[in-house]
A and B are shown apart, each in its own frame.
Chain A
Amino acid sequence: MATDRTSNKGSGRTGGKSGKRNAAADRRAKIEEARRKERARDRRNRLVTIVACCVVLAATVGGGWWLVANSDGDGDDAAAPQSGESAEIEGVQTWEDLSRNHVEGQVEYTMNPPAGGDHAQAWMNCDADVYEAEIANENAVHSLEHGAVWVTYNDAAAEEDIATLSDRVSNTTYTLMSPKADQESPIVLTAWGNQLAVDTAADPRVETFLDTFVQGAQTPEPGAACTGGLAE
């Protein structure tokens, strides 16, 4: 039976079954609504908590990573190749697993000038030594084993370049220089297992090769002498 009072509240209604059903339904709806809101709130809170934890974790890991990355490298010249690393010098040929036996007589080397392999018992003096005459491969290779850089030139090398290189070698321990008529390139710099051919002494890679390989990490016998060997 309809009355004048209309109300959304089901509870005000006295009445029949439909009234009670509406009131219950409304209550259920409200409860549902509250539950939905609470679930949503819970989801939000969970999300916030998880995100916050992830941020903290990421910041901790990131901070630690940054610390470690910054702990070495102070004062490093990132541009200059470090001792014995040929990778940064363009055009350097490398050889691995070269043998190191002391033998008598001539040796057949797989490259010219030789960059390593079996060699003579006596090393060639490599204490800033510039040789005017050709020297035996087998003695020079022993010098390479001691950490020396061997500079060689053929007839195609310019006089000026020979003078420049002689000057440099004369002022650098653990280097030696000699003519080598049968080599392909005008100027070759050789260390144990590493070799660079250049056309002129002005090539900037000459300095880099010397700095990198004189007593460099490629030296099979660190600490060995460049004096007390053969003087000619």
Chain B
Amino acid sequence: MSASVRRWLIAASGSIAVVAALLIGLTALAPADSARAAPAEESADVGFARDMSVHHQQAVEMSFIVRDRTDDEDVRRLAYDIINTQANQRGMMLGWLEVWDRNKSSGEPPMSWMDGDGHGEHEATGDGALMPGMATDEELAELSAAEGEDAEIRYLQLMTVHHEGGVLMARAAAEQAGTDEIERLAAGMVEAQESEIRLMADMLAERGAEPTP
């Protein structure tokens, strides 16, 4: 090997080493962004995605029921809106759980991920209401049996309580989320559902009823 070839080889190797070290160092030290690091099992992101998927599913169910129990265009349209919005959002959250490689179901009590007093554990009430704000089996049965304005009022009252529970969870998720996607979706839910609560209060007033029975 001639001296010049050797020198060239050393220079080349040295350059590669410096560049590689720089790249490796920069990448290793770069802050982990949500696109690459999946949220942990105990994170608010995972807990909220699981819990809110269940919560949304019941709102969809209640909305389907009331659409069959009345002809009122306004209530049926509101129900249609809630069905599409919440079913699609539920799909998004379940999809994220898959991308994050997390189970969709957990034996942990719902809302365990929420910070703050009184939100650590929730006793299972056994009446079908899996989370605060959710309707019981009995309330769903009564809604299914009601007709006309009676069904509308029941639906609007049940959905108001449902939304209030949802807003609590979504607000906590927006505050605690580690991922951009949960933060954005949860913050959007807070605004949208608070707006719907106000709308439903007006609709209940038109029917001579209060938000809470």
Contact = CB atoms under 8 A, between A and B. Distances in A.
A230 interface: no
A63 B24 contact: yes
A217 B102 CA distance: 11
A215 B104 contact: yes
Interface stretch (B6-14, B74-82, B156-164, B197-205): B6-14
A31 B27 CA distance: 55
A46 B1 contact: yes
Interface string B8-40: 011001101100110010011000100011111
Contact of A215 (B20, B61, B105): B105
A110 interface: no
B85 interface: no
Interface residues of B, number: 40
B15 to A, nearest CB: 10
A227 B56 CA distance: 13
B1 A72 contact: no
Interface range, A side: 35 or more
Contacts of B105: 172-174, 210-211, 214-215
A31 to B, nearest CB: 20
A70 B43 CA distance: 20
A82 B40 contact: no
Nearest to B21: A63
Given A83-B98, A170-B126, A171-B124, A216 B20 contact: no
B13 A83 contact: no
Contacts of B36: 71-72, 74
Contacts of A72: 36-38
Interface string B85-125: 00000010010011001111111000000000000000010
B188 interface: no
Instruction: Find the residue from A52, A56, A59, A174 having the highest chain B CB count within 10 A.
Output: A56
B101 A82 contact: yes
A214 B105 CA distance: 6
Interface string A52-75: 110011011001100100111011
Contact of B27 (A67, A207, A217): A67
Instruction: Find the residue from A46, A60, A210, A214 having the highest chain B CB count within 10 A.
Output: A60
A49 B41 contact: no
A170 B124 CA distance: 9
Nearest to A84: B103
A115 B98 CA distance: 23
Given A72-B38, A75-B37, A210-B107, 11 more contacts: A49-B9, A49-B10, A57-B16, A60-B17, A63-B20, A74-B38, A75-B38, A127-B57, A167-B126, A223-B91, A227-B57
24 contacts: A42-B1, A45-B6, A49-B1, A49-B9, A60-B17, A63-B20, A63-B21, A72-B36, A72-B37, A74-B36, A80-B41, A82-B103, A127-B57, A127-B61, A170-B128, A172-B105, A173-B54, A211-B107, A212-B103, A214-B104, A214-B105, A217-B98, A223-B91, A227-B57
Q: Lowest 3 CB-CB distances: which A-B pairs, in order?
A: A214-B105, A75-B40, A215-B104
